[in-house]
Chains A and B, each alone.
Chain A
């Protein structure tokens, strides 16, 4: 995509200064350069992203155990795998759990992260320390977080012990199907809040100080400043964070896998599409079926990402991509706006004329 864009620009540039006749036209030379220079990136992308997706799509059409090749040792099943997956209550539950985590992560982490960032953004003693502390859980690896929390939250773990010491009765945080998903949400929030805070903080620091000064001069209170200046100007950061959070939630795997394991996660009500994929694919040795799950996970993520980019991230990306289409679109938009303005002016003009005629 970008390649063709660059090529086009190159084409324009050369046509502008065609002074001497060269053995190899500039156009070709530039094209060649671009091909060679972008080849490593394209190769890696093709080999490790596109090829696996294509292979998964191919495997997904077979009932195949992962021994030998699907066409010889497997059985062609057409779309049967996909039908079985979509009808499987276990998968439907996993999708539901993913959806819950997507929405609740946004609802819980977003406001908390902004509030934390606001507080840390204020100059105070020990700011650097607090910043580091908030960011620590994000740096710690998922496996350690998972193991740590699963030990703490066991029915005879430290958390319940602490609760009983202050006279409260704990619960079976991990195994009880009614509580487990909230436990998961808690651990996720604990782990990823730091990341959101750092993003928000970076966003806030790029807001010019002058705006706040001007607001203060006008007598705006602290909260008014945040509401009217910080939040609107933080928009791009929030939208970007939300995007990362949604994608992360859709692909949620390691924490669930570590804390619950692949077998119990469905029972405890914390299974995700990814744990379902591993359980039914690699775990059960149904590599064809597992690949089909992977394809569905890919499509769901892709559709959500595209829709989000189109309708939410769109305005942040404007100006970043200058291909012909969007240029034309913008020109059309501008023309429309101009026409509208002209019409309004005209209407106003005629109204004025009418008024003056009265």
Chain B
């Protein structure tokens, strides 16, 4: 009698296995005997011009290479990381070409042997055109991702609101910034928009303060060792605290998201409900979608994160991201390479700038950048003394998320500056 359930289980397992076997027959990329190749591509631009740009490029590529079909899938950025990670676990579900941010996550993909070495796939023309930005996609001496945009961060502000508060010059030091914040408050304007619900926008304040507080050597050493013993890290936390104590951030910033809707921090800036926001160079594009008429914000300006009084860091050091495309290891090498090189041509990068209002990685296409704010950000990038990746990208989500959440905690009054670096150390124990 007792055997019955066992038999049932055995039968069930057998069926399951056979079901699993069925699943193996499909494949994401395929090439048949006629030399026809299908490439799948995942990117994170789900709306408007950005989505149309990729569809247009794919069509143009298919016209030039009739044997290749490109299947595009646009995935919401918030979902992207989880989806790509799951998809990469199985060669059958992995897209051939996909968006990625580099840093520790790319290192993890390389460790798991999921990425194609693109060193000899990317043409030398493309390599020259992006210059040092390719470092973001390079591990050791191998290129695993080709950056298509660089997004240096900084302060994006409304010139009108600054004028209204009687500020005629953008601040270059923390003291000046604080004065301006007070002026804005006195004029009844929320000085700084902050989307702390998403955590990373709040953490950016700490990253930048640390970049200005810590000497380049200390900063770079900590990037490798993930140890934050130097006193400058605590000073960075105190800097952020002092800004918060001025009442600089918009009301309810803890439950404000970064980019979703008019109530988000980018929306507040777009609609002149707050005077400035600390963000990456995607800001003009994001703000554009959130203005009432969906047109560029006409009075948008940019200035670099101010120098910290008594800080050891370089005032011209810059931080930002570099968004790239990687190729799955078993993808059709020749065709995938051709497509990447096609994406990176001057012509297509210029089209990219038009669609995204953000800086391209191809330096030849930089001249198409319009908008004063973006031009200034690009100028800051070209003249920066060093370019660090966002700390959460650099450290990977484990330590990065812990850092971000602990900055939020500090802003809510539930933690101290010292807790931020402690959180990073604690997080290391979880992964």
Q: How far is the CA of A8 from the CA of B263 in the complex (A)?
A: 64
Q: What is the minimal beta-carbon distance from B202 to any residue of chain A, in angstroms?
A: 9
Q: Contact partner of B85 among A66, A260, A279, CB < 8 A?
A: A66
Which residues does chain A contribute within 8 Å of B257, judged by CB atoms? 261
Which residues does chain A contribute within 8 Å of B16, judged by CB atoms? 43, 46-47
Q: Is the CB of B2 within 8 A of A286?
A: no
Q: What is the minimal beta-carbon distance from A295 to any residue of chain B, in angstroms?
A: 15
Which residues does chain A contribute within 8 Å of B22, judged by CB atoms? none
The B20-49 residues at the A interface (CB cut-off 8 A) are: none
Query: Footprint of B on A, CB under 8 Å?
Result: 1, 3-4, 7-8, 11, 31, 34-36, 38-39, 42-43, 46-47, 63-68, 72-73, 81, 84, 88, 150-151, 154-156, 172, 174-175, 177, 259-261, 263-264, 266-268, 279-280, 282-286, 288-289
Beyond A4-B1, A65-B396, A177-B412, 11 additional pairs, beta carbon < 8 A: A3-B5, A39-B8, A46-B9, A67-B111, A84-B429, A150-B255, A264-B255, A267-B408, A268-B255, A284-B398, A286-B431
B404 in the interface (beta carbon within 8 A): yes
Given the interface contacts A8-B1, A155-B252, does A284 sit within 8 Å of B199 by beta carbon?
no
Which residues does chain B contribute within 8 Å of A279, judged by CB atoms? 401, 405
Q: Is the CB of A42 within 8 A of B199?
A: no
Q: Is the CB of B197 within 8 A of A263?
A: yes
Q: What is the minimal beta-carbon distance from B172 to any residue of chain A, in angstroms?
A: 31
Which residues does chain B contribute within 8 Å of A47, judged by CB atoms? 16
Which residues does chain B contribute within 8 Å of A264, judged by CB atoms? 196-197, 199, 254-255, 408, 412
Q: How far is the CA of A38 from the CA of B7 in the complex (A)?
A: 12
Q: Is the CB of A3 within 8 A of B8?
A: yes
Q: What is the minimal beta-carbon distance from B211 to any residue of chain A, in angstroms?
A: 22
Q: Is the CB of A67 within 8 A of B114?
A: yes
B12 in the interface (beta carbon within 8 A): yes
Q: Is the CB of B252 within 8 A of A38?
A: no
Contact with A along B139-174 (1 / 0, CB 8 A): 000000000000000000000000000000000000
Q: How far is the CA of A42 from the CA of B14 in the complex (A)?
A: 12
Q: Is the CB of B7 within 8 A of A35?
A: yes
Q: What is the minimal beta-carbon distance from A269 to any residue of chain B, in angstroms?
A: 9
Contact with A along B99-118 (1 / 0, CB 8 A): 00000010011011110000
B245 in the interface (beta carbon within 8 A): no
Q: How far is the CA of A151 from the CA of B263 in the complex (A)?
A: 9
Interface of A is mostly: helix
Q: Is the CB of A172 within 8 A of B252?
A: yes
Q: Is the CB of B105 within 8 A of A39?
A: no
List 5 A–B pairs whose Cβ atoms lie within 8 Å, in order of A's numbering: A260-B197, A263-B401, A267-B405, A285-B396, A285-B431
Which residues does chain B contribute within 8 Å of A84, judged by CB atoms? 429-430
B298 in the interface (beta carbon within 8 A): no
Q: Which of A38, A259, A260, A263 has the largest count of B CB atoms less than 10 A from its CB? A: A263
Which residues does chain B contribute within 8 Å of A268, judged by CB atoms? 254-255, 412
Given the interface contacts A4-B4, A7-B4, A11-B1, does A288 sit within 8 Å of B431 by beta carbon?
yes
Q: Which of A35, A151, A268 has the largest count of B CB atoms less than 10 A from its CB? A: A35
Q: Contact partner of B199 among A154, A175, A263, A282, CB < 8 A?
A: A263
B88 in the interface (beta carbon within 8 A): yes
B402 in the interface (beta carbon within 8 A): yes
Q: Is the CB of B412 within 8 A of A67?
A: no
The B69-89 residues at the A interface (CB cut-off 8 A) are: 81-82, 85, 88-89
Q: How far is the CA of A196 from the CA of B81 in the complex (A)?
A: 38
B251 in the interface (beta carbon within 8 A): yes
- Give the size of the chain B interface in residues (CB under 8 angstroms): 50
Q: How far is the CA of A279 from the CA of B255 in the complex (A)?
A: 17
Q: How far is the CA of A65 from the CA of B430 in the complex (A)?
A: 10
Q: Is the CB of A31 within 8 A of B252?
A: no
Q: What is the minimal beta-carbon distance from B77 to any residue of chain A, in angstroms?
A: 14
B224 in the interface (beta carbon within 8 A): no
Q: Is the CB of B5 within 8 A of A4?
A: yes
A-B contacts, CB under 8 A, total? 146
Contact with A along B271-290 (1 / 0, CB 8 A): 00000000000000000000
Q: Is the CB of B4 within 8 A of A174?
A: no
Query: Footprint of A on B, CB under 8 Å?
Result: 1-2, 4-5, 7-9, 11-13, 15-16, 81-82, 85, 88-89, 105, 108-109, 111-114, 196-199, 251-252, 254-255, 257, 263, 396-398, 401-402, 404-405, 408-409, 412, 414, 426-427, 429-431
Q: How far is the CA of A286 from the CA of B105 in the complex (A)?
A: 12
Q: What is the minimal beta-carbon distance from B264 to any residue of chain A, in angstroms?
A: 12
Which residues does chain A contribute within 8 Å of B430, judged by CB atoms? 63, 81, 84, 280, 284, 286, 289
Q: Which residue of B lies closest to A84 (CB)?
A: B429
Q: Is the CB of A73 within 8 A of B112?
A: yes
Given the interface contacts A263-B405, A282-B82, does A67 sit within 8 Å of B88 by beta carbon?
yes
Which residues does chain A contribute within 8 Å of B402, judged by CB atoms? 284
Which residues does chain B contribute within 8 Å of A280, judged by CB atoms? 430
Q: Is the CB of A263 within 8 A of B255?
A: no
Q: What is the minimal beta-carbon distance from A73 to any residue of chain B, in angstroms?
A: 5
Q: How far is the CA of A68 from the CA of B109 in the complex (A)?
A: 8
Which residues does chain B contribute within 8 Å of A288, judged by CB atoms? 431
Q: Is the CB of B12 within 8 A of A42?
A: yes
Q: Which residue of A lies closest to B252 (CB)?
A: A155
Which residues does chain A contribute within 8 Å of B263, judged by CB atoms? 151, 154
Which residues does chain B contribute within 8 Å of A282, judged by CB atoms? 82
Q: Which 8 A-B pairs rank lowest in CB-CB distance, beginning with the nearest?
A: A68-B112, A263-B199, A67-B112, A286-B431, A285-B397, A155-B252, A175-B254, A43-B12
Q: Is the CB of B12 within 8 A of A46?
A: yes
Q: Is the CB of B255 within 8 A of A156?
A: no
Q: How far is the CA of A280 from the CA of B114 in the complex (A)?
A: 24
Q: Is the CB of A35 within 8 A of B408?
A: no
Q: Which residue of B lies closest to A155 (CB)?
A: B252
Q: Which residue of A lies closest to B398 (CB)?
A: A284
Q: What is the minimal beta-carbon distance from A92 to any residue of chain B, in angstroms?
A: 14
Q: Is the CB of A285 within 8 A of B5?
A: no
Q: Is the CB of A175 within 8 A of B412?
A: yes
Q: How far is the CA of A316 from the CA of B88 in the complex (A)?
A: 49
Which residues does chain A contribute within 8 Å of B113, judged by CB atoms? 68
Which residues does chain B contribute within 8 Å of A63, judged by CB atoms? 430-431
Q: How far is the CA of A7 from the CA of B4 in the complex (A)?
A: 8
Given the interface contacts A3-B5, A11-B1, A261-B197, does A65 sit within 8 Å of B15 by beta carbon?
no
Q: What is the minimal beta-carbon distance from A42 to any residue of chain B, in angstroms?
A: 5
Q: How far is the CA of A263 from the CA of B256 in the complex (A)?
A: 12
Q: What is the minimal beta-carbon distance from B309 to any residue of chain A, in angstroms?
A: 29
Which residues does chain B contribute within 8 Å of A73, judged by CB atoms? 108, 111-112
Q: How far is the CA of A8 from the CA of B1 in the complex (A)?
A: 7
Q: How far is the CA of A66 from the CA of B81 in the complex (A)?
A: 11
Q: How far is the CA of A261 from the CA of B196 in the complex (A)?
A: 10
